[in-house]
Amino acid sequence: MYIATMVNRIIFIFLGFIILGWSFTPANAHVLQGPHILDLMTKKLGTANRLLVSQKLILYNNPQSNSFELSETLRYIFPEQFRSDILSDNAQRIHVISKGAALTVIDGKVIADKENWMDYYKDIILYRSRIMLQKRLASLGVNVSVSSLGRFQGEIAYVIGAQYPDESVPQVWIDKDTFRPMRWLFAGNNDLPSASTESGKDFLEVRYYNWQPVEKTWYPMRIELYQNDVLIRKINVDQITVSPSFPEDLFDIKHLQSIYSPASPFVQDQNKTEGLSEVQKAIEEFKKIYE
């Protein structure tokens, strides 16, 4: 009887130590490092060299107004060339990224040589090189040396740039099982062109949904952009073509600058209207194409 009691006590104490050990084990003791996560992510996205994407772009001005829809064509040459074309009955918008340079043309006039926040969503798809993507994220405020585990909409994810559940700093969420991007938060980045309000910087976020395999690559069939948790832009992909051929001059910024003249100072001033956030400016820009 005495021996049995002692054995039970020993087992109880042993189990207690195990439980205590689990209780004090750091939650992120086995979390992969940020650069390693990005390396696995870029490899998991596939080996396609080029993509042609046809999609519908839906913009919401505010919760009280109606949305409007535009057709958009994207061209990717991985890992550092991208072109977006939007053509309506009334206007045309061309946006090109090539080896770090940017150009936006509306109605045959160059209106900007830099990107707007609403164009950033494609970066995590375009830069299929761990080193290039890491540099790009760092330039937008993501501290790649920090990583943790988090949960979003019921799924476990690696969080690059923050210690979960902190959402006050820029961060990227990568699905723990598939290594495909889930969300990108720009909160707290004072260098990011976003809205400045009386309460401070806006909370900006991109969410990637419904990743599908298309031959040698994976692509999100739905992308959503949020401002202060309000949906302001949604992308629904219609069709993807893998490895199409593109004329080189489509991505040649110097060539485009030679055939499109700069916008007049009056138009440039309109695009730099004080008091409007970058998000609001982008919405107004797209509304001009739609109307």
User: Which has the closest alpha carbon to 132: 104, 99, 169?
Assistant: 99
**262 or 9: which leads in pLDDT:** 262
Predicted pLDDT at 199: 46
pLDDT average, residue stretch 122-149: 97
CATH topology of domain 30-290: outer membrane lipoprotein receptor (LolB), chain A (2.50.20)
H helix intervals, the chain? 2-24, 34-44, 123-126, 130-139, 253-259, 265-271, 278-290
Query: How many whole angstroms separate alpha carbon 191 and alpha carbon 64?
Result: 30
Domain boundaries, the chain: 30-290
How sure is the predictor about 137, in pLDDT bands with cuts at 50, 70 and 90?
Answer: very high
Query: Which pLDDT value is given to residue 263?
Result: 83
E strands, 161-246, are 171-175, 181-185, 196-197, 200-201, 204-214, 217-227, 230-242
Write phi, then psi, for 33 (nearest 5 degrees).
-75, 150
Give the rounded percent of residues in the chain with a pLDDT score beyond 70.
Answer: 75
Mean pLDDT value of segment 133-161? 98
| The pLDDT of residue 261 is above 80 | yes
Closest by CA position to 137, among listed 35, 260, 64:
35
pLDDT at 247: 96
Between 194 and 148, where is the model more confident? 148
Is residue 13 scored above 80 in pLDDT?
Answer: no
Task: Specify the residue for token string 């919760």.
Answer: 63
Apex CA 127: angle with CA 167 and CA 234, to 5°? 60
Four-residue CA torsion sign, 282, 184, 242, 211: negative
In degrees and rounded to multiples of 5, residue 5 shows phi and psi of -65, -45
Rounded CA separation 205/203 (Å) = 7
What is the structure's pLDDT at 201? 73
Q: Looking at residues 227-253, what average pLDDT do you find?
A: 96
Q: Given a cut of 70, is residue 41 above it in pLDDT?
A: yes
Could you report the per-residue pLDDT of 171-205, keeping only the tens digit for each?
999 999 999 999 999 976 555 554 444 445 789 99
**Does residue 181 contact residue 222 with C-beta atoms inside 8 Å?**
no
267 vs 35, more confident: 35
pLDDT digits (tens, 9 = 90+) for 69-110: 999 999 999 999 999 999 888 889 999 999 999 999 999 999
Lowest-confidence pick of 27-36, 210-219, 226-235, 242-251:
27-36
Specify whether the CB–CB gap between 182 and 159 falls below 8 A.
no
| Mean pLDDT, residues 3-10 taken together | 52
Average pLDDT (231-242) is: 97
Average pLDDT, the chain: 85
| Structure tokens belonging to residue 4 | 């049995």
Cα–Cα dist 52/50, whole Å: 7
